[in-house]
Amino acid sequence: MLLDKKSWAVIKIIVFLLGLTPFLLLVNDGINDRLGANPIETLHFSFGDWALRFLCIGLALTPIKAITKQGWPTRFRRMMGLYAFFYASLHLLVFIVLDLSLSWEAFKDEVPKSPYILMGLLTYSLLLPLAVTSTKNMQKRLGRNWIKLHKLVYVAGVTALIHYFWLVKKDYTEPLIYAGVIGVLLGIRVIVYYRKKVNILNFQS
Amino acid sequence: MLIKTGSDILSSEITDRAFFESRREFIKAATVLSAGIMLPSHGYAETGKYVDAPIGPYSAKLQVTGREDVANYTNYYEFSTNKKDSTVLAKALQTQPWTVEVVGETEKPGGYNLEDILKDNPVQERIYRFRCVEAWSMVVPWIGFPLGEMLKRFKPTSKAKFVEFTTLYSPEIMVGQRSSVLDWPYVEGLRIDEAMHPLAMMVTGMYGDELPNQNGAPLRLIVPWKYGFKSIKAIVKIRFVENMPETAWHKSAPGEYGFYANVNPEVPHPRWSQSRERVLGSSIFTPKRDTEKFNGYGEEVAALYSGMDLTQHF
């Protein structure tokens, strides 16, 4: 797509606002008491869902780039990743501030009894360094290591899924949908990785 | 909504008439007070079918959860695993006429019309705590009658050691039954002494009116000292049996849901703590409430389980 710098800036702002929309809608629902009988659960689950959705969108951009043979998808990778982190942070914040009411006693009691919470915390700890090193400056400073470090997002995708599966009481429909999406997106990478390997081997022989 | 978390359940205390009279005013006032955070339609129906039901024993002096919250947050997997969707989907259920089949170790087996059951069992109102295994709770003014009184009329034989309840199976209407999320129909059970305990209730209404379909109309069980999943909805069959019946959630995940399912903060679910509960209707900044053993009804029911290891028989 041949667009000038200005047009890209406008598009980025639009995408940025779209990413913020779920948050704003939830805040609006909260102000107007439309979060249902269990508002904390609604906020907590919605933020978790959006974190997972942005993670999926972020993981989809590179395959889309490869299929469309266009450069624009990767322009949004950082923003999508940061939105995944933003919603994951809100998800965690709701848990700590609203669900546990900042009670260390409740944290000590509830977290060790819940493998899914531990898995959620692990996922967040994987996303955190990616968000911290997301700036252009950090990218330059870390060089090749930056790419290696950011492969952690694949691990985070898997641990986020495990987190979801472990918390579900009985109906696995939704985590299965996310597992399908993330499975395809990571599967593509595995195929690409092995194809490259085969090509290199062929070239060498 | 302001929840009086400090107040203990005075469940052995019979609520006096004056409190009953004043309660509606109190709820109205509470609704006005918390109008900023609550839907306006909370509280009691003014013209409900059971608006004059007398207050029964064991009714606790507790701040009642808003009706809209209770009516729109139900675990009714026969319709949906989504707590809100069941409100809409359950509208399709026809609850009249309704027959309850009574079978097994009984001297009076047969099909009983719900209307006839209600003629023999006058209803009363009881405000009970309701604690879900998912660690949330509410306080509901149920309308119904003691389960034991009804069961005695069916004259269970000496072999009747347990009583088993079955929910309607009707996948055309109960669309959730088309998926195999649980093994349908839903079955629950109680030991006969649990079933005969005066706290156990057969419920036909709430908030002074008929039970909404999503809350288990036309006839459901309420066992306030047990997790909510024991309190089976839309009952069509009651069977007296000699051996412990297999129940739906136990069958689905025996390591997670036991037959007894007594509310117990000391025994965590394998995947989460049961020490605390989120009281629905309270402000989002209200901390969770400490869960009480037997949901606060220990004084009445603990004796049923004396000598039993509740970590084994969870």
* C-beta atoms of B39 and A33 within 8 A: yes
pLDDT, tens only, B97-144: 999 999 999 999 999 999 999 999 999 999 999 999 999 999 999 999
**Boundaries of domain holding A61:** 5-204
- In degrees, rounded to 5, the angle at the alpha carbon of residue B177 between the alpha carbons of residues B175 and B181 is 120
Arithmetic mean of pLDDT, B164-189: 97
Indicate whether A86 pLDDT > 50.
yes
Of the pLDDT bands very low, low, confident and very high (cuts 50, 70, 90), residue A1 is: low
Q: What is the pLDDT of residue B47?
A: 78
CB atoms within 10 A of CB A65: 16
- Across the strands, what pairs with A113? none
Nearest residue, CB atoms, B278 vs list A40, A113, A116: A40
Burial (0-12, 13-18, 19+ Cβ within 10 Å), B239: buried
In a domain, B239, yes or no: yes
A39 CB neighbours in chain B (<8 A) are 284
Q: Among B90, B66, B65, B96, which residue's Cα sits nearest to residue B76?
A: B90
Nearest residue in chain B measured CA to CA from A166:
B271
Arithmetic mean of pLDDT, B71-80: 98
Shortest CA gap B108–chain A (Å): 38
Indicate whether B19 pLDDT > 60.
no
In a domain, B5, yes or no: no
DSSP helix, strand, coil percent of chain A (3-state; round to 5): 85, 0, 15
Nearest residue in chain B measured CA to CA from A169:
B134
pTM, two decimal places: 0.87
Percent of chain B with pLDDT over 90: 84
Q: What is the pLDDT of residue B5?
A: 45
Nearest residue in chain A measured CA to CA from B1:
A37
In a domain, B4, yes or no: no
Most A-contacting residue of B130, B215, B276 (CB-CB within 10 A), to test interface: B276
- In degrees, rounded to 5, the angle at the alpha carbon of residue B127 between the alpha carbons of residues B126 and B129 is 130
In a domain, B184, yes or no: yes
- How many folded domains does chain B comprise? 1
The interface pTM score, or ipTM, of the predicted complex is 0.90
* C-beta atoms of B275 and A109 within 8 A: yes
In a domain, B229, yes or no: yes
Arithmetic mean of pLDDT, A82-107: 98
Nearest residue in chain B measured CA to CA from A39:
B284
Distance CA B83, CA B228 (A): 14
Indicate whether B3 pLDDT > 50.
no
Indicate whether B194 pLDDT > 70.
yes
Arithmetic mean of pLDDT, A180-199: 92
Most A-contacting residue of B34, B134, B229, B284 (CB-CB within 10 A), to test interface: B284
Q: Among B72, B254, B177, B253, which residue's Cα sits nearest to residue A168?
A: B253
pLDDT, tens only, A20-72: 999 999 999 999 999 999 999 999 999 999 999 999 999 999 999 989 999 89
* C-beta atoms of B39 and A40 within 8 A: no
pLDDT, tens only, A124-168: 999 999 999 999 999 999 999 999 999 999 999 999 999 999 999
Percent of chain B with pLDDT over 70: 85
A38 close to B (CB below 8 A): yes
Indicate whether B258 pLDDT > 80.
yes
CB atoms within 10 A of CB B76: 24
Q: Among A18, A13, A153, A144, which residue's Cα sits nearest to residue A85?
A: A153
Mean pLDDT over all residues of chain B? 90
In a domain, B154, yes or no: yes
Indicate whether A118 pLDDT > 50.
yes
**Boundaries of domain holding B179:** 17-305
Q: What is the pLDDT of residue B36?
A: 38
In a domain, B223, yes or no: yes
Indicate whether B17 pLDDT > 80.
no
Arithmetic mean of pLDDT, B257-269: 98
Q: What is the pLDDT of residue B65?
A: 97
Looking at residue B33, which CATH number applies to its domain? Answer: 3.90.420.10
Q: What is the pLDDT of residue B4?
A: 44
* C-beta atoms of A171 and B278 within 8 A: no
Arithmetic mean of pLDDT, B224-240: 98
* C-beta atoms of A101 and B288 within 8 A: yes
Nearest residue, CB atoms, A38 vs list B136, B181, B252: B136
Could you give the count of Cα atoms lying within 13 Å of B7 in the half-sphere of its Cβ?
13
Q: What is the pLDDT of residue B35?
A: 42
Residue given tokens 């949901």 in the structure block = B295
Most B-contacting residue of A29, A34, A38, A118 (CB-CB within 10 A), to test interface: A38
* C-beta atoms of B278 and A41 within 8 A: yes
Q: What is the pLDDT of residue A197?
A: 84
* C-beta atoms of A115 and B271 within 8 A: yes
Residue B187 neighbours by CB under 8 Å, 6+ apart? B164, B165, B166, B167, B232, B245, B246, B247, B248, B251
Nearest residue, CB atoms, B252 vs list A99, A114, A170: A170
In a domain, B105, yes or no: yes
- How many folded domains does chain A comprise? 1
Indicate whether B31 pLDDT > 60.
no
Q: Among B196, B156, B185, B152, which residue's Cα sits nearest to residue B78?
A: B185
Indicate whether B10 pLDDT > 70.
no
What are phi and psi for residue B89, nearest 5 degrees? -65, -35
A99 CB neighbours in chain B (<8 A) are 278, 288
Most B-contacting residue of A40, A46, A105 (CB-CB within 10 A), to test interface: A40
